[in-house]
Structure 1
Amino acid sequence: MKKYIYSLTIIVASLFYTCSDYLDVVPDNVATIDNAFTDKFNTEKFLYTIYAALPSAGDVFNPGLNTADEVWYPRERNWNIDIPMGRQNVTTPELDRWAGTGKNNLYVAINNCNIFLNRIEGVRDMTDSEKELWTAEVNFLKAYYHFYLVQMYGPIVINDEEIIVSDSADKILQVRSSIDECFTYIIDLLDKAIVDLPLNLNFEVEELGRVNKLIAASIKAKVLMTYASPLFNGNSVYTNFKNSEGEALFPTAYDPEKWNKAVIACKKAIDLSEEAGIKLYQKEDYQNAFQANLSDETLLTAALRDRITKEWNNELIWGDTQFAANGSTLHGNSMTVLFPLTSQYRPAQTHAATMRIAELYYSENGVPIDEDVSFDYANRFKTRTASEDDKFHVEVGEETAVLNFNRETRFYSDLSFDRCVWYGNGKQGAEDDVYYIHKRSGEFAGPVSRSDYNMTGYAPKKLIGMDTEIAGGTRLAIVRYPFPIIRLADLYLYYAEALNESKTAPDSQVYEYIDLVRDRAGLEGVVSSWSNYSNAPNKPLTKEGMRKIIQQERLIEFTFEGGRFWDLRRWKLLKDYMNKPIKGWSVEEEALDDYYTPRVIFSPTFSEKDYFWPIPENEIINNPRLIQNLGW
């Protein structure tokens, strides 16, 4: 099977900047832009510069990772929690991509795309097929950068022509285009790219990092899913929102046909995935050097971790391997390294999962814990002692919260918590030789300092490679992997969602694609699980009920990957989630009952304006034809 991923060897990488060998190259010793296109060599370097502008999915400054309710940091870390704390502003907006500096300015990247497209035909030593391929790649990147901006700002300025300093004000000072115009433009560019991109890379070793037909088709599916969703489709709040020309920027009515288009795009991407040999990473795919005879429970837990952290695994469609120029790329230590491998090294665990995420995962019966007729939901914050039946996930004889028992396997593969079992990271042999995480105050994995500690008692084990471990007593051996941008499970759940929204009621096809993801996680199908274990057995039989099931399935499957933030936005649900307290355990307490007392860490506020980023104030001043987003 061909690999389509992206050779910059990072993720989960280091908190210091390291120069990569690929895709972050800028043309050197080039006096003018025209000189950059004198030959194939320099033209390719300019192409790499365009690639280097891709927003890093695995960077702590990725807005999808930490600007909502999924994780929380100590205030001293200040990794974008100003946004969920309600401190976004118009003067210097957090995580600005409209007029940001360096690679954070996507309009600079888009203009570089236009420069490239205007000059590629004149490069003397390139074949027509090479020009055709590189043009397709740049059309894809141009579409992707526009899409990224639309996700953040809503209606944007479409930049389809190269801008130079000497251009007239009429060309430079543009108005915002409508949502329909923006999405139509993006989709048209993707369609142009898809035609000329190869399904497989022609020279894999040399071209790792470049996009292909499957990536473009998958992103097109994501774009159409976003276009069809409530934030952009029938959003009545923006009915009277107009640009400076008096043109409506949002459609005035809900259009169900957008879901039909999303259905077609999702199925096309799934078909291409099958043709390319992409498949869900299964329990049978997990291997380790010890070749231990493991139980099904341990095998499944390990395989579910590997679905993210196994390098180049066969589920990944597009992964990010860029280094962040500002040195902020995710790192095993700053994120979630909780395994106590040596008394000489105490992990910081600052990337803390909120209580809301711990409650999100299903029970072992594959239904929400507040619906499961057998789950002790009312007493979930009390404690109980782990028995032999719990040995694969909780340390036998130790007490932890009821919330941590009888959960689906993804809960145990994705989350670390007090008294949990940690298999892997140097111990992948016998199942009775594992790590146990002790997180109460004064214990090894407890708080380290005011700026380096886990605020909630939960952390994303999901993001730590199975083979990451302490080397030499004091140094981390980090397993790096491409941070997922889109994988096959994305397409399956997108397809199930689009099918459900395009029908009056769910049918077997809707169930089929969500059940593929659930089956990989060791769960029964949707209809069976709700019928047998839920206090709402008919929930999967209605469009509205199935919508909630698909949404929860997505939120579970893609925790800590940056998808939750964008999904809750496009569904227009962030206002519901971000006006509720952020909670965790009382992690600074030593006594059992004190530790297992839920505490409010912060009470965020979220208003309608927060669905879109503010355009920087200076941009509005410099271009009077721009209209600011509502509320800013």
Structure 2
Amino acid sequence: MKNYIIAVITAICLAGTLGCKKMTENEPLELIEKDLIFDSKDSLGVNAERFLNNIYSGLPNGFNRIGSNMLDAGTDDAIPNATGDAIQFFSNGGISPTNIVDNVWAKNYGNIRKVNIFLANVDVVPLNVRGLKDRWKAEARCLRAMSYFELIKRWGGVPLIGDKVYETNETINIARSTYQQCVDYIIAELDAAMPYLLTANASVNGTFAANYYGRFGRGAAMGLKSRLLLYAASPLNNPSNSLTKWADAAAAAKAVMDSVSAGKFTYKLNDAATTTHYSTTTLAGVAPSATLSAYVTNVNKFLSTFTTNSNNEIMLPYMTTTNSTVEAANDPVGYTRASSTAGKTNPTQELVNEYEMTNGKMIDETGSGYTISNPYYNRDPRFPATVMFDGLYWLTRKVQTTDGGLDRPFGYGRVTKGETRTGYYLRKFMTSNSSATSYSNYPHVFPIMRYAEILLNYAEAQNEAVGADASVYAAINAVRARVGMPNLPTGLSQSDMRLRIRHERRVEFAFEEHRFWDIRRWKIAEAVLNGKLHGIQAIAGTTTTYNQVDAADAKFDASKMYLFPIPFNELVSNKSMVQNPNW
């Protein structure tokens, strides 16, 4: 453990957050290092809390984390702008046990180790605030539960190590637990932690818990349980389609919703246009003039969810300092401030086609009003809040992705990196308050979990458990109403509602790392990731002509790719480890 503790202390000291004591050799180094953090004389627990905060840094952060690409660039929703980027291995079959993109095995077991160290040592800290130590322990157990969830959604069953802290030179020889055993363990951890966690409107010594935004509260623990049970009930993990598992998942989501109704939690769908990303001037021509004002408000409401320091919709955020990294990675390439590595994640035509018209009809439905000559007009407000398309305003001008335009200077099919390969750029998460020539730092909070997910988790699980009842409609219609989209048509069958819910998750959660896992747990990846992914070619003239074109090949091997391969080094170091099928 010596090297591990030194590493943690070094990381925290370099960040300027720990007043580091001088280390001497008057007693065993192991004890000195541990005592620096878990101090029997620190009644405020300053250093112990900093150790706990360091574990929070291991939470999932979805901002351009894989070669500067979003994870969705490995799905049917997007591709990277460079053909050689590793993220595309997910959609072209390039993964192997020695070449695993998004290999977070070591990271998450490292987080579990940190939690175990914390739980094994925090009792020596004489905290003078009643109940605080129990809350810290509960938060740590939730962080451990999250790490196990991150592991099992990639690899299925993994070794469960309980509270044991392994020494750095200790041989580990532990067999994998089953997927269900891991699920049961995570649920037990979350249930044990919940009574000691803060609720969203609780207070600590007179300070409202909102000041503790970013920590694991009871609602976030309940939300993780909802997500876990939904995944466990899904076809990948529930091949017999046990309705009990679906009912359990529905009940877990409903518990959060009922707590909101009872005033125990303050979660809600964000309904405030906190930031004026767009105006009726900048979005003119994107929607009819008669409804433009309301349309702009709905676009701004959705965008504001992701560009404010905190709001009541995000139940568990990944907190970062103010920064400009999202803009630097995703700016259209023609803007003065954009670098040669900008414009990384390119949405596909498959995603673009998924956005309804504002009348609630899909673009290929009779009466939708869609026309290929003006393809981006009057679409679901979440569309211009998620995807940059030809003619959408950004900073000081409209985006130009016509062949030869400022943001696609070489044109369709002429490059393998450096500009969009699909004719689209990412819009979601990006702030528009910076200048056209330089970046400014703004809040970027990645929504690990938000209340809209709870509603759609409930809708999906309840529909599978009992069918499309009124509560299913209410949950999904609430998500749609937030952006001014009409209610779903009544009388949908269970199978029709299933497709509607999957559609809603796709457009609501685009680029939030849901689609990647959804197509796996639904076992539809083999259908949507085999063949061609598409983009648009826009040719300027008296009027602009738009043609759907091939953008990339996709390949998904259903015999093995629904689970990641166990990393090769884990197979070598742990003799009880068994590889996933066909890897």
TM-score by length of 1: 0.77
Letter in structure 1 aligned against 2:153: Q
Report the 3-state secondary structure (helix = DSSP H, G, I; strand = E; otherwise coil) of the residue aligned with 1:260: helix
2:500 maps to 1:527: no
Q: Aligned residue for 1:555?
A: 506
User: Are the aligned partners of 2:332 and 2:338 in contact in 1 as well (CA < 8 Å)?
Assistant: no
Partner of 1:616: 567
Q: Which residue of 2 aligns with 1:317?
A: 315
Q: Larger deviation: 186-195 or 440-449? A: 440-449
What amino acid sits opposite 1:612 in the alignment?
A: L
Secondary structure at the aligned position of 1:358 is classed as helix
Structure 2 contact 277–303 (Cα < 8 Å) conserved:
no
47-56 vs 143-152, greater mean Cα deviation: 47-56
Aligned residues: 536
SS in 2 for 1:601: strand
Instruction: Kindly indicate whether the alpha-carbon contact (under 8 Å) linking 2:105 and 2:151 is maintained by their aligned counterparts in 1.
Output: yes
Post-superposition offset of 1:216 = 1.1
Q: Which residue of 2 aligns with 1:463?
A: 429
Distance 1:53 1:338 in 2: 32
Aligned positions of 1:319-468 closer than 5 A: 319-322=317-320, 330-337=325-332, 348-370=342-364, 372-375=365-368, 382=372, 384=373, 402-422=374-394, 425=395, 435-447=397-409, 451-465=417-431, 467-468=432-433
2-structure distance, mates of 1:21, 1:271: 43
Alignment of 1:110-189 (within 5 A): 110-127=112-129, 129-165=131-167, 172-189=172-189
The offset of 1:41, in angstroms, is 2.5
Of stretches 273-282 and 542-551 in structure 1, the one that deviates more from structure 2 is 273-282
Whether the aligned pair in 1 keeps the contact of 2:61 and 2:448 (CA below 8 Å) is no
1:57 and 2:62 correspond: yes
Q: Which residue of 1 aligns with 2:528?
A: 577
Contact 2:317 2:447 in 1 (8 A): yes
1:225 Cα offset (Å): 0.9
1:490 to 453, 466, 476: 453
1:258 equivalenced with 2:245 (yes/no): yes
SS of the residue corresponding to residue 485 of structure 1 reads strand
Aligned alpha-carbon RMSD (Å): 3.3
Residue-by-residue CA offset, 1:347-393 (whole Å, 9 max, x unaligned): 942321111111111122213223x212477xx6x5x2xxxxxxxxx
What is the distance in 1 between the residues matched to 2:340 and 2:64? Answer: 23
Q: Distance in 2 between matches of 1:606 and 1:24?
A: 46
Secondary structure of the 1:118 match is helix
Q: Distance in 1 between matches of 2:114 and 2:330?
A: 34
Letter of the 2:313 counterpart: E
What residue in structure 1 maps to residue 7 of structure 2? none
Letter in 2 for 1:506: A
State the alpha-carbon separation in 2 of the partners of residues 23 and 177 from structure 1.
37
- 1:509 is matched with 471
Letter in 1 for 2:65: V
> Deviation string for 1:62-83 (max 9, x for gaps)?
8744322222113367252222
Q: Distance in 1 between the 2:513 and 2:457 partners? A: 15
Correspondence for 1:596 = 546
Deviation at 1:497, TM superposition (A): 1.0
Q: Specify every segment of 5 or more residues in structure 2 that has no aligned partner in the other structure, as ranges.
A: 1-10, 24-28, 282-291
Partner Cα separation in structure 2 for residue 27 and residue 80 of structure 1:
40
* Structure 2 CA distance for aligned equivalents of residues 27 and 93 of structure 1: 38
Question: What does residue 72 of structure 1 align with?
Answer: 79
In structure 2, how many angstroms separate the alpha carbons of the residues matched to 1:311 and 1:155? 36
Counting only pairs closer than 5 Å after superposition, residues 530-545 of structure 1 correspond to structure 2 as 540-545=491-496
Q: Which residue of 2 aligns with 1:37?
A: 38
Could you say what secondary structure the match of 1:464 adopts? coil
Residues 281, 45 of structure 1: CA spacing in aligned structure 2 closer, same or farther, 3 A cutoff? Answer: closer
**Secondary structure at 2:316's aligned position in 1?**
strand
Give 1:585 shift. Answer: 2.1
Q: Distance in 1 between matches of 2:64 and 2:388?
A: 21
C-alpha distance in 2 between matches for 1:520 and 1:444 = 34
Aligned residue identity for 2:314: L
Q: Kindly indicate whether the alpha-carbon contact (under 8 Å) linking 1:23 and 1:52 is maintained by their aligned counterparts in 2.
A: no
**What is the CA–CA distance in structure 2 between the aligned matches of 1:289 and 1:97, rounded to whole Å?**
35
Higher deviation after alignment, 155-164 or 273-282: 273-282
Matching of residues 239-318 of structure 1 within 5 Å:
253-274=240-261, 275=263, 276-282=265-271, 285-286=273-274, 288=276, 295-318=293-316
Change (3 A) 1:409 1:54: closer
Aligned to 2:218: 213
The 1:451–1:290 alpha-carbon spacing in structure 2 relative to 1, beyond 3 Å, is: closer
Q: CA deviation at 1:207?
A: 4.2
Deviations 1:193-212 (CA, angstroms, capped at 9, x unpaired): 11110114635587443221
Shift of 1:21: 11
Q: Is the 8 A contact 1:286 1:299 kept in 2?
A: no
In the TM superposition, residue 273 of structure 1 has moved relative to its aligned partner by: 3.8
Counterpart amino acid of residue 476 in structure 1: Y
Structure 2 SS opposite 1:412:
coil
Tell me which amino acid in the other structure corresponds to 2:469: D
Shift of 1:521: 2.1
Q: How is 1:88-103 mapped onto 2 (pairs within 5 angstroms)? A: 88-99=95-106
Q: Quick one: structure 1 residues 231 and 345, their matched pair in 2 at CA, closer, same or farther if it must change by over 3 Å?
A: closer
Q: 1:267 to 1:339 in 2, by over 3 A?
A: farther
8 Å CA contact retained: 1:198, 1:212: yes
Aligned to 2:90: 83
Question: Structure 1 counterpart of 2:384, which letter?
Answer: Y
Using structure 2 for the length normalisation, give the TM-score: 0.83
> How far 1:149 moved relative to its partner?
0.3
* Structure 2 letter corresponding to 1:419: G
> Structure 1 residue 285: deviation in Å?
4.2
Are the structure 2 counterparts of residues 287 and 156 from structure 1 closer, same or farther at C-alpha, using a change threshold of 3 Å? closer
Contact 2:198/2:217, CA 8 A, preserved across alignment: yes
Equivalent residues of 2:533, 2:553 under 8 A apart: yes
- The answer to whether the 8 A contact 2:159-2:175 is kept is yes
Give % identity.
Answer: 27
Residues of 1 paired with 2:246 and 2:297: CA distance? 38
Separation in 1, partners of 2:276, 2:317: 23
